[in-house]
Chain A
């Protein structure tokens, strides 16, 4: 994996990470494990009380999937920065895919750094997260 990192150039795409559909069980496990206990993700009565049809997935679950995309590609200690905008909610049963692409490479603080564009896209083409990351290259 690290060997391939020496060949990274602008336009290089990260191997996509395709996830299984998000189940209610996933949400029930992710809440306590992550610490995010906002009931809007766990309790359909709370969701309905503000006019929603159902609970929806934690944004940070999708960001955690993007984190997997990154750490599948580089050792974690190479990640300098990681940011997302949550563009749409993720319904229960949605099936996310994480993608990333190198958009620039610069010399910063004595190391080569790649700036990445990231996205999470559902099976129906809804883009739920748009993000960026900066990683140090070998």
Chain B
């Protein structure tokens, strides 16, 4: 594929506002084999001091996803073939724990683009701010995506 134009650095991608649902948190807890009842049982969560089921540490990554091809439209617009994408790095900085019943807004932005190995590997960095509807900061996410180009640099 062609090199990703560094001019996209600074591009704000469409924000998404999502209701955090108990059912999806329970499905997530079940899928990762979570055995701590705090993450699936509202009574256990409240007994541990939570307002409702807590959003576990990595769940925010996919909170704004789940729509299929639409999740990856921003990559397609950059000319990236999703099949050549690897997740390189992921970080979270936390300000508060979110809970079921919260309405959260995720505001992503492309913050870096660079290449290695003569363009055989391109890197895209996307940072996302997550806030509650009242503006309370919840977390910042930083995701580094690696795009392998089987036809370059080999």
- Give chain A residues whose Cβ lies under 8 Å from the Cβ of B63: 35
Could you mark each residue 108-138 of chain A with 1 if its beta carbon is under 8 Å from any beta carbon of chain B, else 0? 0000000000000000000000000000000
In contact, A81 and B93 (Cβ under 8 angstroms): yes
Kindly state whether residue B133 has any CB partner on chain A within 8 Å. Answer: no
Please tell me the size bucket of the interface on B: 35 or more
- Give chain B residues whose Cβ lies under 8 Å from the Cβ of A32: 27, 66
Interface of A, secondary structure class, is helix
Kindly state whether residue A63 has any CB partner on chain B within 8 Å. Answer: yes
Chain A count of residues within 8 A CB distance of the other chain:
42
Interface residues, chain A, with chain B CB atoms under 8 Å away: 19-20, 26, 29-30, 32-40, 46, 49-51, 59-61, 63-68, 70-72, 75-77, 79-86, 89
Interface residues, chain B, with chain A CB atoms under 8 Å away: 24, 27-28, 30-34, 36, 48, 54, 56-59, 61-68, 71-72, 82-94, 96-97, 142, 150
Of the A-B pairs whose beta carbons lie under 8 Å apart in the complex, a sample of 10, sorted by A's number, is A33-B24, A33-B28, A35-B61, A35-B62, A37-B68, A50-B84, A64-B28, A66-B58, A71-B36, A71-B56
